[in-house]
Chains A and B, each alone.
Chain A
Amino acid sequence: MNIANPLTVEGAWVWVAAVLTLAVFSFLYRENPFYRFAEHLFVGVANGYAITFYFHRVLVPYLIQPVGHGEKLWLIAIAMIGALYFTRFIPKISWLVRIPIAVVLGYSSGAYIPRAIDAQIIQQLRATIVTRASFANTGAGPGWQLGIWAVIIAVGVIATVAYFFFSAEQKGILKPVSRVGIVFIMVGFGASFGYTVMARISLFIGRLQFLLGDWLGLLN
């Protein structure tokens, strides 16, 4: 056992991290003041961290320094628009907060639309359509096999979309196609769940690696 030395600066911080880790884990037994303290501490430090970076890496290089050097003085007007966020806390003029929100939301929404149409609809449609190229031999496997998988994907996509089609009653041809769709969806969700198990366990493994390795020095 090579426990971290609390008498050194580095070791003391490892102990701080370990105690905070155990404080959060204590929630598994039941809620308690140690967990609550750790939770509130995190919120405070996270916000202080955010303030630091927003100031030093955004406001200083992009606003304070240029304006301080007499360049881009029009940025003062932009800063005043940004400062309207403060009006959120003044009930009489709180409607002014809509203006900076409108600027960011409007531009972002507009920039998103053409790019999302290309990336999420057109490119994905293109990948779904089965062509002769789908049966070409590549490094991924023999051509006939890749072609069959491409056909299955195309069938699955159509069936899945049919399942979520609520504008018409699910009868006639739509019903069996929807049933096929639900099979694909359940397999997809099962795959997601299986991997979710791995994800959650991984997070816990990471914390144990810290406690057993960095803190207690039990791991090689």
Chain B
Amino acid sequence: MTRRIPLILVLVLGIFGAVAFMIPHPAVRGVDEVMRNDVIRIITAFSLVLGVGSIIRHHLIKVRRKAEHWPFSYVTLIALAVSAIIGLFGGIDPDSPGILFRAGGVGRFLSNFHMQTLYENIMVPLAATMFSLLAFFMASAAYRAFRARNFEATLLLIAAFILMLGAVPLGRMLIKPLPAFAEWILTVPNTAAKRGIMFGVGLGTIATSLKIILGIERGWLGGGGK
């Protein structure tokens, strides 16, 4: 029962989701719109609980067990709580502040910590910088690991060199038709290869979706229960 009910739900809603695309009748379209606009939207909003709850639980366990680097878990928990309070009670639009920023002088001071300000000065720099580290790791990998050991690897590296040179103005200065040739590589052989791969991936994804609807693929149920 604990597995049968969810499997029946997936089957019914899966068939409805697929069939609604093909039936233009207003009644079907109306139900489809309600499903999307109200049902799926509200349920998806609650899914945040899983993510946030898991993070809080993970860090609380780290603190309790005094696991490695446990003091930093306080940073996450405090930052989460403070930013959530600022966002929930301070609002989203700086021009329409929430109750947190309307409390006289204290409110005016706190408005310097508006959600958009935190986003632009904490989240954006941190996320962008973390990903920019990849430039260095890639350079190190290029030096240590990219070897033209065989014909296929050599072909890959030659294509990469042509693209790298063709992507910058230097390529045009060295060999005038190089950017056009690089564009041709992307437009013809690359398109062919990626399309071939896409057919496989596309058919695989469609097959997996079908298997989920029909209850053949049950990994999403997780363990436990019959």
Interface residues of A (CB under 8 A from B): 9, 13-14, 16-18, 20-21, 24-25, 27-28, 36-59, 62-63, 72, 75, 78-79, 81-83, 85-86, 88-89, 94-95, 97-117, 120-121, 124, 127-128, 149, 152-161, 163-164, 181-198, 200-201, 203-204, 206-207, 210
Contacts and interface: CB of A to CB of B under 8 A. Distances in A.
B33 interface: no
Nearest to B78: A44
A58 B117 CA distance: 22
For the complex, would chain B's binding face be called helix, strand, loop or mixed by DSSP majority? Answer: helix
Contacts of B117: 13
Q: What DSSP secondary structure best describes chain A's contact surface?
A: helix
B198 interface: yes
A81 B213 contact: no
A46 B115 CA distance: 11
Contacts of B216: none
Given A114-B22, A190-B155, A198-B164, A152 B192 contact: yes
A112 B124 CA distance: 32
Given A98-B3, A200-B132, 4 more contacts: A37-B72, A49-B118, A58-B45, A114-B21
Interface residues of B, number: 126
Contacts of A83: 46
B134 A194 contact: no
B79 A20 contact: no
A201 B221 CA distance: 41
Contact of A102 (B7, B20, B157, B196): B7
A200 B42 contact: no
Contacts of A82: 42-43, 45-47
B162 A105 contact: no
Q: Which of A99, A102, A107, A181 has the most CB of B within 10 A?
A: A107
Given A160-B196, A187-B159, A47 B13 contact: no
A190 B164 CA distance: 10
Interface of B: 2-3, 5-7, 9-22, 35, 37-53, 55, 57, 69, 72-73, 75-88, 91-92, 112, 115, 117-136, 138, 142, 152-153, 155-164, 167, 182, 184-200, 202-203, 205-206, 209-210, 212-213, 220-222, 224-225
A52 to B, nearest CB: 3
Contacts of B55: 43, 47
12 contacts: A21-B125, A24-B129, A40-B79, A43-B76, A48-B81, A50-B52, A106-B9, A106-B10, A112-B205, A161-B199, A184-B196, A197-B164
A49 B115 contact: yes
